[in-house]
Amino acid sequence: MHIGIIGATGNIGQRLVVEALDRGHRVTAFSRDASGIADDRDGVTWRSLDVLDTDAVAKAIGGLDVLISGFQPGNAAKDLDDTLKRSIADPGIYAEVARSLVTALAAHPRVRLIVIGGAGSLETSPGVVGADDTAKLEDVLEQLGLPREYAVSVRGARDSLNVYRTSNRLWTYFSPADDIRAGQRTGRFRLGGDQVLTDADGLSRISFEDAAVALIDEAELPQHVQRRFTAAY
């Protein structure tokens, strides 16, 4: 398969490139500015791309089988504080990017899109979305070491899901566990739909590495087209 990865220098993006290459796929890795990236691995090509430039996206994704978007404002892998500040300052960017990607896909209706979104749009109880429970959301953010002000960005990511849900394109939205960080690739996790998954200790967590496994699994064998799914231990 030929897989495109937006945000390929990010925390999940880096693992996605590795996971896809290890499985023998061809990768086009997209970054805002790929001019300074030196990568001699077989099977990967780096390209610069502005995801808000819809025409550029449409031209870039021709020939792909799957496009995985790990868009984040800034580069969280190198400067998390900058990403947080940008996300808080412009939470509407997520929906704006969603509209750009959906529009670009109109020219390539067979290309599947997998979007890495947020956990805040998952239901914490039947009919209750985490992003809408301000007090609980701010507590969760604090526990994760994130500023309470980041709640506006969580809601922005939730709004982007609503953009995809009104589209007839071949989209899939991935909401990872609440607590996602560097760890090990175990290949052992659970998949879910619209509800938060928690372990025996009541924690919702997964590693970047296993999130990448879940995403490439979905790329290879689509099970959630025009749906959202989640993964957690």
- pLDDT tens digits, 122-167: 998 888 788 887 888 888 888 888 998 988 999 999 999 999 999 9
Model pLDDT, residue 168:
95
* Mean of pLDDT values over 6-21: 97
Q: What angle do CA 7, 83, 39 make, to 5 degrees?
A: 35
pLDDT in tens, 174-199: 999 999 999 999 999 999 999 999 99
Model pLDDT, residue 133:
78
* Mean of pLDDT values over 114-119: 94
Q: What angle do CA 228, 229, 232 make, to 5 degrees?
A: 150
Fold of 2-232: Rossmann fold (3.40.50)
Beta bridge partners of 6: 30, 69
Is the model's pLDDT at 213 over the cut of 90? yes
List Cβ neighbours of 112 (8 Å cut-off, separation of 6 or more): 65, 66, 67, 170, 171, 172, 219, 222, 225
pLDDT in tens, 57-87: 999 999 999 999 999 988 888 888 888 999 9
- C-alpha gyration radius of the chain: 16
Element holding 68 (H helix, E strand): strand 66-69
Is the model's pLDDT at 11 over the cut of 90? yes
Is the model's pLDDT at 201 over the cut of 90? yes
Q: 61: how many CB neighbours lie within 10 A of its CB?
A: 23
Q: 48: how many CB neighbours lie within 10 A of its CB?
A: 13
- The mean pLDDT of the chain is 94
Separation CA 140–CA 224 (nearest Å): 27
Query: What pTM was computed for the model?
Result: 0.93
Model pLDDT, residue 205:
96
